[in-house]
Amino acid sequence: MDANFLSPNSMLIQGVTMSDFESMISRLLDEKLANIFESIPKQVESPKDGLYKRKEAAGKLRISLVTLDAWTKAGIITARRIGGRIYYTDKDINEALKQLAK
C-alpha cells in the first residue's frame, strides 16, 4: 500500500455515491459563498430622482447619521428641505467630499 494512503490528512469515504458526494460538496460551497457575499459591503444605488434621504447620503459618505447632521449644521454639506424632510443631492455630497479633502 501507498504510504500516503493512511496519512493523518487523508480520508476514506465509503457508502456514498458520487452524486451524493457532489451534492454535499455543492451545499457546503453554497454556504461558504453565501457567507462571503454577506460580508461584502453593499453599494448604495443612486436614487431615480437624484435625491438621497439622510440614511442613503450617510451610507454613500460612509459616515453615521450623527456625523451627517453635524456636517450639515457646520455647513460642510448642503441639505435640501422638501416639506418636512431633508434630502441631499450627488452634487452636495461630492462638494462636501472635496471640501473635506482640502
Count of alpha carbons within 13 Å of 64, Cβ hemisphere only? 3
pLDDT at residue number 87: 94
Q: What is the pLDDT of residues 47-70, one digit of tens each?
A: 667 899 999 999 988 899 999 999
Q: From CA 82, how far away is CA 54, in angstroms rounded?
A: 13
* Global confidence as pTM: 0.53
51 Cβ contact list (under 8 Å, min separation 6): 80, 82, 87, 88, 89
Domains along the sequence of the chain with CATH: 51-101 (1.10.1660.10)
Strand 51-53 and strand 80-82: the pairing is unpaired
Whether the predicted pLDDT of 3 surpasses 60: no
* pLDDT bucket at 6, cuts 50 / 70 / 90: low
Q: What is the mean pLDDT of residues 31-41?
A: 85
Q: From CA 29, how far away is CA 36, in angstroms rounded?
A: 11
- 92 to each of 25, 52, 80, how far by Cα in Å? 49, 10, 9
What is the distance in angstroms between the CA of the first residue and the CA of the last residue of the chain?
A: 71
Q: What are 80's strand-pairing partners?
A: 87
